[in-house]
Amino acid sequence: NRAAPVDENENKTVKPPCKLEHHLSAEIERVVTEQVQYARMGIGKDSWQLFSEEGEMKMYRREEEVNGLVIDPLKACHYVKGFSAHEMCYYFFQPEYRYEWEITLDTNGMTVIEKLSEDTLIFHQMHKRMWPAAQRDAVFWSHMREVPLDKSDDKNVLNCWVVVNNSTDIDSLPANGNGKVVRIYMTVCLMCQTVVLDPKKDKSQLTRADIACKITYCSVVNPGGWAPSAALRMIYKREYPRFLRKFTAYVTSKTKGKSIMF
């Protein structure tokens, strides 16, 4: 008897369809894996300090400084009924909606510098000046994907999506190029889980009344140049709750009456 024909792809770890690689692929894999792990840990037993609470929205920080510069890590948790994890991530990732919700952007402040793939973009953003800090700009890659469910997820979680934004350098836009605008460095992870409220229903029967989105938003900002610690903490305390409150209200209004994008 002759042996069955050998499938030469059989034992390869990456199964088709394979994603096209680009110069940031390896970094993105590493940062996304790390950020998802970190978001999944939740508030845990670490010493997070609750600094803002509005209904289901809770924001925590850890006060940290490096050479007198505030770099407080932030973790925010929220829970909103009526839209999916994919929808929340979609509106956060897609540039065409950015001006409709991002209130820290300067007029015409957002540029897509490069599209590396359908799920990965490089942005330049010019942010509004916030007194007493100098104006800030940022260059970052932004990547969106669905994340496989994990043993630690609740059994009513249907799926999980993430967007990670991470500062990067590009030659054509050097940091602090004009001496006035300071380059800010940020790592942001928006992880969302679709929660099914009625476990008896089949996925195809679910309406917006049957789903909720469990949101974890983590961020670490290095302000890039000196700014008074108390002023920066005041800005964060005001701007993060404003962002998450406004953005979730935006996703609610954008998705109302539309079929659910799972």
Interacting residues with ligand H13 (CB under 6 A):
98, 102, 104, 125, 130, 133, 136, 138, 140, 165, 167, 184, 186, 188, 223, 227, 235-236, 239-240, 243
The pairing of beta strand 57-61 with beta strand 157-167: unpaired
Minimum CB separation of residue 244 from ligand H13 in Å reads: 8
Minimum CB separation of residue 201 from ligand H13 in Å reads: 33
Question: Residue 187: which of 72, 86, 85, 87 has the closest Cα?
Answer: 72
Nearer Cβ to ligand H13 (56/102): 102
Minimum CB separation of residue 228 from ligand H13 in Å reads: 11
